[in-house]
Amino acid sequence: MSKYSIIQELIETIKVYNLKGWSPATSTNYSFIDENNQIWISRSGIDKRIIAEIDFIPIDENGYFTGNNLTFKPSAETAIHLFIYKLFPETKIILHSHGLYPVLLSSVNKNYFEFQGNEIQKGFDGEVSHLSKLRIPLLENSQDMSFFEKELWSRKSEILHSCFAISKHGTYAWGKNLFEAKRHLETLDYLCQFEWNLTQK
C-alpha cells in the first residue's frame, strides 16, 4: 500500500478514535513504515480532530526529523515507536491511545493486565479460545525515553499480543497493517473497559 493510501486510512481512524475520546487535548501519536522503508510519525502538539496529511513527518532511524519545515517536531514519544520497530521487525504501523479505561485499570493493577473468559480475546493474533489466560504488560510511566527502551527489551518475552500499556498514560498497539493494529488496540481497550466495570460492582 502506498504512503498516501496509508495516511488517508490512518487519518480516518484517528478521527474516529478522537470522537471516542481516545486522544484528549493534543495527546496520542501514530507512525507507519511506507513502501520505501521510510518511517513517518505524527508531529507533536496537534489536535487529532483536524489531523491532516501534512501532520505526518519523516524521521530517520534515530528519530530525527528529515523534512524541510524546521517548525515541525516529531512526537515526544518517537523513541517508543522506534523501540517497537526494532523489537518486532514485522511491524508496519503503530497506534498509541489515551483511552480512559486502560488508564483507570492501570490505577489498580501493577506489572500487567490479566484477562480470561471474554470472547473478544480472539481479537489478538493467535488466540483461538476465550478460555486462554492473557497477560498484557503494564509499564511504569516515565519522561525518560531510555527507561522504556530498557523495559521493553527486558520484557520482550512478555509482549505476546502486539500491545502493552503504560500506567496512568495509555496503550500502544501495532501490526503488519492498519487493520491488524486497530484490531489489537480495540481488543485491548474493550477488555480494559470490561474489567474496569467489573471492579466497580
- The structural domains of the chain, with segments of one domain joined by +, span 3-199
pLDDT, one tens digit per residue, over 143-175 is 999 999 999 999 999 999 999 999 999 999 999
What does the pLDDT read at residue 14? Answer: 98
What gap in Å lies between CA 73 and CA 88, rounded to an integer?
25
> Does residue 38 carry a pLDDT above 90?
yes
What gap in Å lies between CA 111 and CA 134, rounded to an integer?
13
What are 30's three cell numbers? Answer: 501514530
* CATH among 3.40.225.10, 3.40.1440.10, 3.30.930.10, 3.60.40.10 for 3-199: 3.40.225.10
pLDDT, one tens digit per residue, over 109-141 is 999 999 999 999 999 998 989 989 999 999 999
Which of these, 168, 161, 123, lies nearest to 27 by C-alpha position?
168
